[in-house]
Structure 1
Amino acid sequence: WFGEGADKVESLLCKRNEFTINCSGFDSQGVNPTVFASVIMRKDFRPVVNYSVPTQVNISFTVSSILDVDEQLQLLTSFLWLDLVWDNAFISWNPEECGGIQRISMMTQNLWLPDIFVIESVDVDQTPTGLTAYVSNEGRIKYKKPMRVTTICNLDIFRFPFDQQNCTLTFSSFLYTVDDILLGMEKEVWEIVDTSRNLIKTQGERELLSINEATPKMAVGSSLHDQIMFHVAIKRRPGLYVINLLVPSGFLIAIDALSFLLPVESGNRAPFKMTLLLGYTAFLLMMNDLLPASGIPLISVYFALCLTLMVTSLLESVLLTYLLHMVTTQPPPMPSWLYSLVLRYITATECCNKGSQKENRGPGHNSIHLPGQKDPVALAGWEPGPGKAELNEDPQSTWAESEQEIQRHRTMDMWVKFSLALDTLLFWLYLLFMISSLITVIAL
């Protein structure tokens, strides 16, 4: 029994020493390439002695730059440095017998490489050829390769330009199952994030926020593949879009709101608003290239609301111009419900401005000179004076005409005050929309 045991131990030692590299070629002048001939011959096979034992491959990566984000095609293009670490059982040597050399570099074409790829990738692997890897005296392989990766990413642009995206990078093996390759982490996630932030030197449109890790298994038919999933959160830098989109739009809307201060009877408000509307339309056409090519972001809804509000204010100015022109010809009778609303509005405004009216009671204080009238008429607070009819006319006819004139001027006064009340209401709606829009932008 002792003889058989000694034979087994000796057999195991022989197998262990079978892959130990002879250090006769290691000296201060370099490494003799012939000593790795046996390793190069086995590069087509997974470097394990027992094939029932899976190879542990540890993964780490660094985001060097975010090159492009295509919202229309839902693609993310980034540049990565992928780090792979695994053990090669066919390589080992004693540093003390090899001139103290503990690590050398070898061409990757002479080594077995795990087929790790990104599942979300939709482009051909553009890894350059002729790369090298570090090999330690214990057979530990450290391989770093650059990758330009174009991956599918579900991009949500509703909050553009304040949007944040969460893209996924899943590393797995295409050929080997969990019986052959197991994946692990070479670095902690926080180390990956810190290294990536320090390495990114370009101040592009996107910036890296965070990276989270998940390790689900992937089933392909009856096979089970190991994989490591990383959720990469990126954010858009909104400064360019705020200066080129939001600020000019806010200025145009503010000027359009201030145009309500123009006298409505002057007839200059509608042409001014038309000019602003044409300018805003030209602004949207020029800034169309800055907006996403697909989807409906919130900022597009904001622009549509601004355009709708400017068109509504223009229509309101046209309506007021039509009403004031109609007042100078033949004002129609006012509906009773509208008449009561205008009376309530007049009562409320007179109560608020009672003090100022007492100080400024002079004639013509609230008068509006309407286009088409020969003489200005004080419509607000107008009271009929003594008649100046001709003595040779019928008194009853003169009194009837005087009553018709008084009724006509009252109707004119109510329509004018309705127009002014409508103008004031739309002005406050304008201010309310501007304030709510500003609060929304700040909240985003």
Structure 2
Amino acid sequence: MTEVKPAELIFLCFMLLHGFVATLNCTSPTPESLFAALETNVFTKKLLRPVKNFSTPINITVGITVVGILGVDEQSQVLTTMLWQVLEWEIEGLSWDEEECGSKRVSVPRELLWVPDIHIAEFMDEDKSPKPPYVYLDNTGHVYDDKPVRVVSSCRLVIYTFPFDVQDCLLTYGSYLHVAADIRLIQGPTAEEILAESREVLETNGEWKLEDIRVAPSTLTLDERSFSQIKYHIILRRRSILYVVNLLIPSCFLITVDLFSFMLPTDSVDRSSFKMTLILGYSVFLLIMNDLLPITGETPLINVFFSISLALMVTSLLETMFIVNIQNSTSNTIMVPHWLSVLVLQYLAVIVLLPRKRVVTRATYFSNTAARAQNFSINSISAFHLQHASGDDSLAKPPMTPPEPALDELRKLSRDLSAIRLHIEKHDQGCKTMDEWRMIGKVLNRLLFGMYIVFITVSFITIICIWNLSKTPQEG
């Protein structure tokens, strides 16, 4: 252990009681003379906080300028920025005469002066920026420390409103060891000045735009110890034009095509195949889209938008299958129920702006068929009819009874004609039933088309409103 000489101990106690340093006296106005005076009175005391009394806190003025936004990693929740960091403080009691020493300000090596242990609480990686070896020292004892800092900081990134998200990343400056009674941080430039200078010198921003900067001095209390801090809120806004062009517009185009596919006639065009092709194309689009979306544990609202779009396309396909089944399969075997015909053709048709259609019931059909069959029966054939069939219209001659074979042939022909008529009437009723089913399908198709439009409109307006209302970043 090195023995402390009594003279050195007395000198140290004298300095602690009567001030840190005094006015420097230079032998000549040369750099060598000034450096010798600093080495004697300042550099030897670099291990001590430069105050006259240890109970006096030293004020550290902090200022930053954002010169680059290097990257935002949503998955790791990390922000990488490039800053110009300025720290200023006073060496209490230090001064020299400018004319006597030959300079008002001098650059000195950083390691020869006491430097505060100011750090950023959100640091996540080593600072790999160049380290300037010098600081400025004024003749009033003012120290000016300006250096670049590459900050890799943690940031709570909220991507719910991606790609229209605004991020609020916090940089908290404070002393790692010294409490507020020893080191007190003072805000330097105002937030407006920092923002204006940052926008002027900002070179690297890429996907992100520097929206705003906020400054808020604060105090951190831990285990009855208070630490002075300054919090800088870096507000970043994502440039969304790339994602709008590559994601939202193509998705809206596909939804629009699916929407207008309702206008295709189901009886002459295979609408189901068309919609299945759209769903396949949209699925391929979603696979390509995954490379552009940020990977985090949070689900962005744009994913909900894509899910709703895909669900609407699948629903549209199911609706088409339902309508095709009504118009083609059911109409060949089953008559339209009376309640369904009344509900759709009398009421829903009015809602979808289609004309009402007269409802033909099963009882009406069979009563008309029976009446027509009774008016033209085989037993109604008489000699008078046969006489008219032979082309003899003379009233002078008495009616003659035709031969029996001719009467049998005419009766057989009558039965065939009656069967043909009944078959034609049955076919005609089947066509009417098919037309009625097709009319029901047309009404339901237009009704579901209207519901489809309403649901798309409400969903998209809701999502757009949520995007607009969620653009304000959270304070943290």
Answer yes or no: same fold by TM over 0.5: yes
Residue in 1 that maps onto 2:263: 261
Q: 1:352 Cα deviation (Å)?
A: 6.1
Give, as a single letter, the amino acid of the residue that structure 2 aligns with 1:57: I
Instruction: Please name the residue that 1:391 is paired with.
Output: 414
Structure 2 counterpart of 1:301, one-letter code: V
Contact 1:25–1:35, Cα closer than 8 Å, also in 2 = no
Q: Give, as a single letter, the amino acid of the residue that structure 1 aligns with 2:255.
A: I
CA distance in 1, matches of 2:299, 2:248: 16
Partner of 2:155 in structure 1?
153
CA distance in 1, matches of 2:340, 2:33: 101
Q: Find the aligned partners of 2:219 and 2:130 in 1 and give their Cα distance.
A: 29
In the alignment, the residues of structure 1 paired with residue 60 and residue 461 of structure 2 have an alpha-carbon distance, to the nearest angstrom, of 51
Which range moved further: 412-421 or 243-252? 412-421
Q: Which residue of 2 aligns with 1:111?
A: 113
2:204 maps to 202
Q: 1:434 to 1:409 in 2, by over 3 A?
A: same
Stretch deviating more after TM superposition (252-261 or 424-433)? 424-433
Q: Give the distance between the partners of 2:443 and 2:305, measured in 1 at CA.
A: 27
User: What's the counterpart of residue 342 of structure 1?
Assistant: 344
Task: For residue 290 of structure 1, give the secondary structure of its aligned residue in structure 2.
Answer: coil
**Could you tell me how far apart the structure 1 residues matched to 2:178 and 2:352 are?**
87
1:290-330 Cα shifts (integer Å, max 9, x gaps): 11212111111010111111111122222233333314632
Q: Which residue of 2 aligns with 1:412?
A: 434
Q: Secondary structure at the match of 1:391?
A: helix
Other-structure match for 1:368: none
Tell me how far 1:287 sits from its aligned partner. 1.4
Q: Give me the whole-angstrom Cα distance separating, in 2, the residues matched to 1:79 and 1:227.
A: 20
Matched residues in 1 for 2:27 and 2:78: separation? 53
1:342-395 per-position Cα deviation (integer Å, ceiling 9, x unaligned): 1224762898669xx9xxxxxxxxxxxxxxxxxxxxxxxxx99x9999621596
**Distance of 1:33 and 1:246 partners within structure 2:** 66
- Decide whether aligned partners of structure 1 residues 349 and 236 sit closer, same or farther in structure 2, where only a CA change above 3 A counts: closer
Over alpha carbons, which structure has the higher Rg? 2
Residue of 50, 54, 58 corresponding to 1:51: 54
Q: Report what 1:167 is aligned to.
A: 169
Counterpart-to-counterpart distance in 1, 2:191 and 2:80:
21
User: Could you say if the C-alpha distance between residues 228 and 203 of structure 1 is closer, same or farther in structure 2, counting changes exceeding 3 Å?
Assistant: closer
- Cα distance in 2 for partners of 1:18, 1:218 equals 32
RMSD of the alignment, in Å?
3.2
Within a 5 Å distance, the mapping from 1:21-36 to structure 2 comes to 21-27=24-30, 33-36=35-38
Deviation at 1:170, TM superposition (A): 1.1
Question: For the residues of structure 2 that align with 1:216 and 1:76, how far apart are their CA atoms?
Answer: 22
Q: Is the 8 A contact 1:107 1:130 kept in 2?
A: no
Match of residue 225 from structure 1? 227
CA 127–181 in structure 1, closer or farther in 2 if over 3 Å, else same: farther
Separation of aligned partners in 2, 1:220 and 1:17? 30
Within-5 A mapping of 1:290-305:
290-294=292-296, 295-305=298-308
CA–CA distance in 1 between the matches of 2:451 and 2:20? 88
Q: Name the amino acid aligned to 2:52.
A: V
- SS across alignment from 2:195: helix
Deviation at 1:418, TM superposition (A): 2.0
The Cα of 1:403 is off from its aligned counterpart by 6.5
Figure out how many residues of one structure are paired with residues of the other and give that number: 401
**1:40 corresponds to which residue?**
43
Contact 2:354 2:443 in 1 (8 A): no
Q: C-alpha separation between the residues in 2 aligned to 1:305 and 1:212?
A: 38
Mean Cα deviation higher: 181-190 or 35-44: 35-44
Would you say 1:72 and 2:95 are equivalent positions? no
**Alpha-carbon deviation of 1:226?**
0.8
**Alignment equivalent of 2:215, drawn from 195, 213, 216:** 213
Tell me what 1:121 maps to: 123
**CA 137–405 in structure 1, closer or farther in 2 if over 3 Å, else same:** same
Q: Percent identity?
A: 38
User: Contact 1:109 / 1:130 at 8 angstroms: preserved in 2?
Assistant: no
Match of 2:178 in 1: 176
Determine the structure 1 residue equivalent to 2:189.
Answer: 187
C-alpha separation in 2, matches of 1:245 and 1:351 = 36
Per the TM alignment, residue 248 of structure 1 is displaced from its structure 2 partner at its CA by: 0.8
Counterpart CA distance in 2 for 1:162 and 1:238 is 6
1:241-280 matches, within 5 Å, as 241-280=243-282
* Corresponding residue for residue 286 of structure 1: 288
Equivalent residue, structure 1, for 2:398: none
2:445 to 420, 423, 434: 423
Distance 1:45 1:17 in 2: 9
Q: Deviation of residue 198 (structure 1)?
A: 1.4
Alpha-carbon spacing, 1:113–1:163, altered in 2? closer, same or farther (3 Å) = same
Other-structure match for 1:363: none
Structure 2 equivalent of residue 372 of structure 1:
none
Q: Aligned pair in 2 of structure 1 residues 32, 269: CA closer, same or farther (>3 Å)?
A: same
1:156·1:165 contact (CA, 8 Å) conserved in 2? yes
Structure 1: state its 5+ residue gaps. 1-10, 358-382
Counterpart-to-counterpart distance in 2, 1:130 and 1:63 = 18
CA contact (8 A) 2:77 2:155 kept: yes
